[in-house]
Amino acid sequence: MVSTDTSQKDDELCRENLSPEEDNVLRLSRRRVLQGASGSLALATLAACDSGSVAQAPVTPTTAGISATPAPRGADLTGRLARYMAEVRNTPLPPNVVLAAKHRILDSIGAVVSGAQLLPGEAAINYIRGQGGVAEASVATTDIMTTATNAAFANGMFGHSDETDDFHPFTKAHPGCVVIPTALAMGEKEGSSGTEFLRACVLGYDLCCRFLVALQPALVRARGRAAEGYSSTFGATATAASLARFNETEMRYAISYAVQQVSGVWSWVRDVEHIEKAFDFAGMGARNGVAAATMIQAGFTGVLDALEGQRNIIDALSVEPSPEEMVADLGSRFYVEETAIKTFPTGYPTQSPLAAFFTLREQYGVTADNLEHMLIRLPEDGARIVDNRTMPDINAQHLMAVAVVDGYIDFENSHSFERMSDPEVLAVKERIEYIADPELAVVEAPRSGFVQITLTDGRQADLFVSHAPGTPENPLDTEGVNAKVRTLMAPILGDERTERLIERVNAIEDVENIRELRPLLSNNV
């Protein structure tokens, strides 16, 4: 007899990262599976067309995971989206959107450069060196020239080698680590202008997030699916298709190839080296997106109605989708403005408590010597993600202890495995009380943090940060983004190249050909 212990443990690992609302959805889905197991599946009937091809009659599955009836939507959803995708590359963007895009492009490039020297980056470099390929695009920080598909994959792996990339609080998508590597690779291949590059990135952010909103991210995750893998392929495909300058029909094909490649299961939470996570969040999507665009350039054709036709992606992946969200407010709502840039190179749930602590430290002079006790409260779902994790930059208690001992958090001290056994850090960690608070799990502030300090002289103070610096509600200015990226890139590229790269990205619309960034980002000319 096969034991059910393994499946139950895997389920518990998955549910650890669910919010209470998502956990409830998962329970509901299970009940539907059990109820539907005794029902009958409607059979599809086949009818031959005059041309000899076969047409499939609509089916109405009753099993959980596929809508019994298609969700309401307007006509030609794929076409409306494809037309926008084809037209937007020639449409000027509002100044605030341009600024937001520049910030996220630069922030993501910082993640790519710094991630190249981490374990997932090293694995990607070793892999791509053996692949060869036509010299279409460069791999950041290396002398490798390879196909655009390979370069996008490698740079995508770099972009999420770590926890420095941006994050969309509602969908929990990570657009920058996949969209920007895709744009760099495809932009080099096509010789795209800086303006084309920027507009393609904005479109990529839109599709990355809109696809999850249409599926409803809580419903996706509640069924054990990795929503990040879904969103990354859609975002990358939109970006690459824009830089390929596709017309409406070609955009329809691109959507269809994105549909066929979306994948991902939430098993990545058990990845202890961040390599598979880097692939799931960014490398896979960047590869998929550029592959789709280049195949269509080579003459591949596809389905024209992948979002609303029979057996479409939205009905297949969500039990209660909102398909019109794919096109809602297109051209007036830009998701590139809604992502959060991380101030600290650490897991996103740790941003608010770190911000709270450093404010208290400045006001009260907190040190390892005078701290008697620290209480941390985080929203329940986020708290589970960063609770005593094996990776130092995702371990909340460890990071807070390092912050107390060192008085700062930077890339080096947040990533040091050695510091996890530092006696001084461990001594402070013993004084930290950590609470996963369900009352803090609210949509309005999904990644807040409460910190209370008690000092040896009896003083006590606390601070609640609802939105960490870098969120849309508490944004960084240009110099703030520059400062963050400078710390990530200068140790690898050097001060001069770093400053030139920052300057070029902040004036990206003046770049005539994105290949001009190649000698700044890589060891190629």
User: Given the structure tokens 């897991």, which residue do they identify?
Assistant: 347
How many whole angstroms separate alpha carbon 313 and alpha carbon 307? 6
**244 and 335 within one domain:** yes
Cα–Cα distance between 61 and 73 in angstroms, integer?
A: 19
Say if 184 falls within a structural domain: yes
What's the domain count of the chain? Answer: 3
Q: Does residue 432 fall inside a structural domain?
A: yes
Q: Do 103 and 212 fall within a single domain?
A: yes
Q: Bridge partners of 433?
A: 375
List the CATH number of the domain containing 119. Answer: 1.10.4100.10
Low-confidence residues in the chain, pLDDT < 70: 1-71
Give CA–CA dist 225/27, Å, rounded: 15
Structure confidence at residue 71 (pLDDT): 66
Q: What crossing angle do the helices spanning 148-159 and 227-243 adopt, rounded to 10°?
A: 140
Q: Is residue 96 part of a domain?
A: yes
Q: Are 319 and 30 in contact (CB under 8 A)?
A: no
Q: Are residues 166 and 34 in the same domain?
A: no
Residues 88 and 132 in one domain: yes
Query: Is residue 443 packed enough to be buried (19+ CB in 10 Å), middle (13-18) or exposed (0-12)?
Result: exposed
212 is a domain residue:
yes
Helix (H, G, I), strand (E, B) or coil at 292: helix
305 and 382 inside one domain: no
- Examine residue 471 and state whether it is found in any structural domain, yes or no: no
14: nearest Cα among 189, 193, 269, 204? 269
433 in the same domain as 312: no
- Asked if residue 88 is part of any domain, the answer here is yes
Residues 292 and 367 in one domain: no
**Does 479 fall in a domain?**
no
**Could you say which of 465, 484, 504 is where a domain stops?**
465
Domain hosting 460: range is 348-465
Whether residue 337 is found in the same domain as residue 382: no
Same domain, 264 and 172: yes
The CATH number covering residue 439 comes to 3.30.1330.120
**DSSP H or E run through 189:** helix 176-190
The DSSP result for 166-186, as a single string, is -B-TTT----HHHHHHHHHHH
The residue with tokens 């703030």 is 480
pLDDT of residue 496: 98
Q: DSSP 3-state assignment of 36?
A: helix
Same domain, 373 and 273: no
Q: Is residue 305 part of a domain?
A: yes
108 and 34 together in one domain: no
Asked whether residue 225 falls in the same domain as residue 116, the answer is: yes
Give 307-355 as a DSSP string.
Answer: TTSTT-HHHHH-SS--GGGGTTTTTT--GGGT-B--SSSS-GGGHHHHH
